[in-house]
Chains A and B, each alone.
Chain A
């Protein structure tokens, strides 16, 4: 087991290193940050000073080594634009993105599960057909457009919800959260729904497929034959079993939700990581871009590592293959 763990950890470190090089090279291949950041009125001397101040006068390999050296000490560089540690900037914005992603996931389950269940139990009814047709829209409509439509309807026409921004926040554990205030929740409703749209459709389809499959199983037939009430059959025997694939997929999708939030955050002016990264790309704030990508890389590697280890605990065959 220890050998297996060590091997996996070494591999993870190798992947992080390789990714850091790729990310660094990729980000540094785009444009010239000084041209973007500097005042147009700056003269040549001032431009040279800025190049030096941002550390862009060094050859690329040296810049990479400087970056790597600092990264090993937990410093992912300072933002060119804000003159603050890139890591801190991203972590400051992380709660906003996380609560939006969690909100979207909850919305997706709350809406997707009942609808999917209904569509699975009564596949022939007109309502089920409508739900399935609607889920196609959820997959195919661009979130950008849906977001603007939501704003136009609920904020501009009806005036029920605030159009953009994060609203009131409460500080808990040193981070600002919106979901604890009424105003914050009102601000969160539309972006969370917008971000959830794709997931709602996914959950509906997964649930429906699961229900239809499970309904034909022998144990369901047996339960019905035993004379259990339809509600008990549905919620205890069917529902519990279809939850496993749904939860697995939604969990795996979580990373994707954080990545997709870029579009939603920019439409709703939601000050999360996605908006930060878009703003940073627009001004070529390289340290923030690199730090963001590295955090995402680390996130995925960690998830994979945990999954691998869990598998090896659950399934001895994985460990045995490792030994062979």
Chain B
């Protein structure tokens, strides 16, 4: 009887998923992009992995430790095989680190994760030592992004070879069966997977980029799971008896960036008569604080985001490494904002243009419209300018904008990532501040980040990161708005381990335990 039931279950072990963002490459070292990472996690594996809350856990490495200030030792998992039967050893890791920076034409390479490694020493087939020039505490975190390839199989592998199929061979829980670019990828379970085997024997991963069509495909039963559920559909899907939702607070912060790069004549700031203001008011912390507390974050998350975001006063949600307990989202107070503006020498406010994308983040254009009204109420006459992401982001990167909305997904789940990228001073040599498009700069923040990045002790490092965050947010380097929740909708009877990093992977879905 039990055997019968099992056989019946086996026939239904197929899953069709509908994802909103197209997978652009199956080469795990070619184009760093969330949908590519999700698929890479299904086919390949890294030395470390992150769990659904972005905490680093063991992957192809069973354990690791810092041998000294500049040496990391990784002990590899024995008995792991690639899909084609090849054995996984330290040689493969060394080969992978060599390939990563040398993938031709890569528009976004993974070399940033392997660059700190100066030397790879193979102690024995299952032990590896990585030497760095300076202490590098983020090594285990970074290596979760680097998928390990097989030296024998992939020595001559090209990106086209991966996309076409024959090279898509890894150690992951699924084997790739077929790939139709921009349409679908089919997988079958890797019966020799070293970890917990996924429930699904066959998985079809379909790309349905249109939001309404994706929802309709779920309702029609053509797919069983969809990601990127539009906030406006959440209530309807929640009420549907045939469906169930998986939600989790994500790691994507939506924030406002202000022009710190100019001491004078910020391009989109003017006085109430429309004349340029000589002094850039955004350089005054009182003005920045006024802008921040003039925003009613709760109204945005409840009404515009329909509950699928939480107001935030910092980079990360509670529980993340470097989260600052006690730093709540600023409370809305238009009167206090007016007073601060008066103190800063703008009793009658000024004019400002607030920009943002209209096709990038959920409800992005509506959020900046709402903030424009809130600021205008506090005395800053705000013009709102929403534009397509493609043209918006180029202007933001050129410092053409005085105030704009943008988002940041902290895929590593720890605070040094947004600190280094968003509020550290723009510094090419250190590689910091690359996404600091407002060019905020505070020596104190820089100093604390530098110290944290040398600190191998997790507790001490977390404390330094907290201090850096506190200084940056007290100085209103950026204006945090909210952290998005990630939502998946699926057929009732399925459960999903919803991931904070937004990845949609088949191994996270399984049938609900029978009741």
Q: How far is the CA of A228 from the CA of B270 in the complex (A)?
A: 83
B431 touches A43 (CB 8 A): yes
B220 contacts which of A36, A42, A151, A279 (Cβ < 8 Å)? A151
| Binary CB contact string for chain B from 150 to 185 against chain A (1 if under 8 A, 0 otherwise) | 000000000110010000000000000000111110
Q: How far is the CA of A43 from the CA of B207 in the complex (A)?
A: 30
A31 contacts which of B115, B210, B391 (Cβ < 8 Å)? B391
Q: How far is the CA of A241 from the CA of B321 in the complex (A)?
A: 78
Q: A209 → chain B, closest Cβ, in Å?
A: 36
B411 contacts which of A37, A41, A42, A166 (Cβ < 8 Å)? A41
CB nearest to A268 among chain B residues: B213
B275 interfacial contact with A, CB 8 Å: no
Which A residues between 57 and 73 are near B, CB-CB below 8 angstroms? none
A172 interfacial contact with B, CB 8 Å: no
Given contacts A30-B390, A83-B160, contact A50 B108 (CB under 8 A): yes
A31 touches B183 (CB 8 A): no
B184 touches A81 (CB 8 A): no
A156 touches B24 (CB 8 A): no
Report chain A residues within 8 Å CB of B212: 148, 267
B209 touches A266 (CB 8 A): yes
Q: B301 → chain A, closest Cβ, in Å?
A: 23
A215 interfacial contact with B, CB 8 Å: no
Given contacts A30-B391, A282-B390, contact A163 B428 (CB under 8 A): no
B473 interfacial contact with A, CB 8 Å: no
CB nearest to B207 among chain A residues: A269
Report chain A residues within 8 Å CB of B359: 282
Which B residues between 193 and 219 are near A, CB-CB below 8 angstroms? 206-210, 212-214, 216-217, 219
A284 touches B390 (CB 8 A): yes
A151 touches B213 (CB 8 A): yes
Q: How far is the CA of A267 from the CA of B208 in the complex (A)?
A: 9
Given contacts A32-B397, A44-B434, A269-B206, contact A39 B220 (CB under 8 A): no
Q: B321 → chain A, closest Cβ, in Å?
A: 16
A39 contacts which of B33, B160, B163 (Cβ < 8 Å)? B33
Q: How far is the CA of A83 from the CA of B26 in the complex (A)?
A: 11
B83 interfacial contact with A, CB 8 Å: no
A47 touches B105 (CB 8 A): no
A39 touches B216 (CB 8 A): no
A40 touches B107 (CB 8 A): no
| Binary CB contact string for chain A from 149 to 176 against chain B (1 if under 8 A, 0 otherwise) | 0011001100100111110000000000
Report chain B residues within 8 Å CB of A123: none
Q: Which of A78, A164, A279 has its CB near the most chain B CB atoms (within 10 A)?
A: A164
A213 interfacial contact with B, CB 8 Å: no
B441 interfacial contact with A, CB 8 Å: no
Report chain B residues within 8 Å CB of A216: none
A236 interfacial contact with B, CB 8 Å: no
Q: A58 → chain B, closest Cβ, in Å?
A: 15
A84 interfacial contact with B, CB 8 Å: yes
Given contacts A39-B32, A39-B33, contact A89 B105 (CB under 8 A): no
Q: How far is the CA of A164 from the CA of B24 in the complex (A)?
A: 20
B107 touches A50 (CB 8 A): yes
B391 touches A50 (CB 8 A): no
Report chain A residues within 8 Å CB of B24: 81-82, 283
Q: How far is the CA of A89 from the CA of B22 in the complex (A)?
A: 15
Report chain A residues within 8 Å CB of B394: 31-32, 35
Report chain B residues within 8 Å CB of A42: 32, 108-109, 112, 434
B389 touches A36 (CB 8 A): yes
Report chain A residues within 8 Å CB of B27: 83
Q: How far is the CA of A279 from the CA of B178 in the complex (A)?
A: 21
A46 interfacial contact with B, CB 8 Å: yes
Report chain B residues within 8 Å CB of A43: 112, 428, 431-432, 434
Per the CB 8 Å criterion, the residue count for chain B at the interface is 57
B210 contacts which of A40, A166, A266 (Cβ < 8 Å)? A266
Report chain A residues within 8 Å CB of B112: 39, 41-43, 46
Which A residues between 5 and 34 are near B, CB-CB below 8 angstroms? 30-34
Per the CB 8 Å criterion, the residue count for chain A at the interface is 54
Given contacts A82-B163, A163-B216, contact A32 B107 (CB under 8 A): no
Q: How far is the CA of A236 from the CA of B475 in the complex (A)?
A: 85
A163 contacts which of B25, B109, B222, B397 (Cβ < 8 Å)? B222
Report chain B residues within 8 Å CB of A276: 182
A40 touches B216 (CB 8 A): no
A44 touches B105 (CB 8 A): no
Q: How far is the CA of A159 from the CA of B160 in the complex (A)?
A: 38
Q: How far is the CA of A156 from the CA of B217 in the complex (A)?
A: 8
Q: Which of B217, B220, B221, B391 has its CB near the most chain A CB atoms (within 10 A)?
A: B220
CB nearest to B221 among chain A residues: A159
B222 touches A165 (CB 8 A): yes
Q: How far is the CA of A148 from the CA of B359 in the complex (A)?
A: 20
B304 interfacial contact with A, CB 8 Å: no
Q: A236 → chain B, closest Cβ, in Å?
A: 46
Which B residues between 401 and 432 are near A, CB-CB below 8 angstroms? 408-409, 411, 417, 421, 426, 428, 431-432
**What residues of chain A have their CB less than 8 Å away from a CB belonging to chain B?**
30-47, 49-50, 53-54, 78, 80-84, 89, 92-93, 148, 151-152, 155-156, 159, 162-166, 266-269, 271, 275-276, 279, 281-284
Known pairs A31-B390, A39-B112, A151-B213. 7 more at Cβ < 8 A? A40-B408, A42-B108, A45-B431, A47-B434, A164-B208, A164-B213, A269-B217
**What residues of chain B have their CB less than 8 Å away from a CB belonging to chain A?**
22, 24-25, 27, 30-33, 104-109, 111-112, 115, 159-160, 163, 180-184, 206-210, 212-214, 216-217, 219-222, 359, 389-391, 393-394, 397, 408-409, 411, 417, 421, 426, 428, 431-432, 434-435
A-B contact pairs, 21 of them (CB 8 A): A36-B393, A39-B32, A39-B33, A39-B108, A40-B421, A43-B431, A43-B434, A44-B431, A44-B434, A49-B111, A81-B25, A83-B105, A84-B160, A84-B163, A92-B181, A155-B222, A164-B206, A266-B209, A266-B213, A269-B206, A276-B182
